Chain A
Amino acid sequence: MTSFEDCSLAIPQQQTARAEINVADLVAEHSALLFRVAHSVLRSRSDAEDVVQDAFVRVLEHRGRLSEIRDMRVWLVRIAWNLALDRRRRVRPDQMDAIFVQTLVGNDLPVDERLAEARQMEIVLKEMERLPRSERHVLLLSTMEELQIAEIAAVVGRSASAVRALLYRARTRLRQRIGGGQ
């Protein structure tokens, strides 16, 4: 019979250490991007932080198959993106925007100008919510400077040319709607 030396912490310890090293490297390399991706959907810092944590827990749950993943960055972004979309279903858009808008408005402006700017940003965000879903998704992902068109295409499951077309349509539609409101 196998002794208890063999069923001590030795086996899990090795696995645990290996998993932690890998995850630590991944966290260092990708957590900022995942945070921005989640924040673009949720526009809430605390919710975005939760999504990043959840994304890396998913990584741990799949750590036995990490070597099979061809593009780790796209895979991670897709996890964070889907987690953020899931969480987003429980949040009303008007609850998300007030705090985020304040971060965009210059503090050095007079109060009346700050209010006008904040109002304008809220209109933009509201119009973004009204875009067709596929256009809104690629528009949000395109705000991440780190992501190439091909990577966005992989995240949303479209071709690169389709993503370019959706992006063009989203920007055009947004400008028309906001311009029409002037």
Chain B
Amino acid sequence: MTRGDGIERVLRGLGQVEVPPDLERQVLRRTRGHTAAAGAWRRSVWVFGLAVAAGAAVVGAGVWEVGVRGRDAVPADVKELRVPVSLSPVLAAPPAATTRAPLLRTAKVGSAPPVARALRCASALGGRGWLSRAGSSAD
């Protein structure tokens, strides 16, 4: 082998490097996770926007997080999304909005009526859910 051959072999080796067989799967897994996170962000912004537009009185203090599990919109490898949602539009939502989703089975959130209604609306947002103070653990 000559020195010149060495240059060509290196250049050819760089250009023809073997691509990992699971590269596409890796990329799609990563981008699905990113898409799910972006979707959650959009939802949270939209819901907050709804509260402002409606001018609804805030019933209950503070901003809560609604956890969403188990819907087709969420990629299979994303186990959990947390969607910040103001209590005010949740409480103002018409009851019919909650009838589409199954009843909540989560019972660890307290029995106060506003929270229970909020949870039913969380159900309409995405299946089983829970509420917790923003910044605290939702589990």
> Residues of A at under 8 Å CB distance from B?
1-5, 7-9, 11-13, 15-16, 19-20, 23-24, 27-28, 31-32, 35-36, 39-40, 43, 45, 49, 52-53, 56-57, 59-60, 100, 103-104, 117, 120-121, 123-125, 128, 139-140, 142-145, 171, 174-175, 178-179, 181-182
Q: Are A2 and B42 in contact (CB-based, < 8 A)?
A: no
A8 to B30, CA, bound (A): 24
Q: Are A23 and B15 in contact (CB-based, < 8 A)?
A: no
Which of B12, B20, B90 is A143 in contact with, Cβ under 8 Å? Answer: B12
What B residues does A39 contact at CB under 8 A?
Answer: 14, 17
* In the complex, number of A-B residue pairs with CB atoms less than 8 Å apart: 156
What B residues does A43 contact at CB under 8 A?
Answer: 14
User: Is B62's CB within 8 Å of the partner chain A?
Assistant: no
Q: Are B14 and A40 in contact (CB-based, < 8 A)?
A: yes
Q: Are A12 and B31 in contact (CB-based, < 8 A)?
A: no
> Residues of B at under 8 Å CB distance from A?
1, 3-4, 6-7, 9-20, 23-24, 26-28, 30-32, 34-36, 38-39, 42-43, 46-47, 50, 54, 56, 71-73, 89-90, 92-94, 96-98, 100, 121, 124-126
Q: Are A120 and B3 in contact (CB-based, < 8 A)?
A: yes
Q: Are A31 and B27 in contact (CB-based, < 8 A)?
A: yes
Most buried by B among A7, A59, A143, A179: A7
Which of B32, B73, B97 is A5 in contact with, Cβ under 8 Å? Answer: B97
User: Known contacts A19-B35, A23-B31: does B15 contact A120 (CB below 8 Å)?
Assistant: no
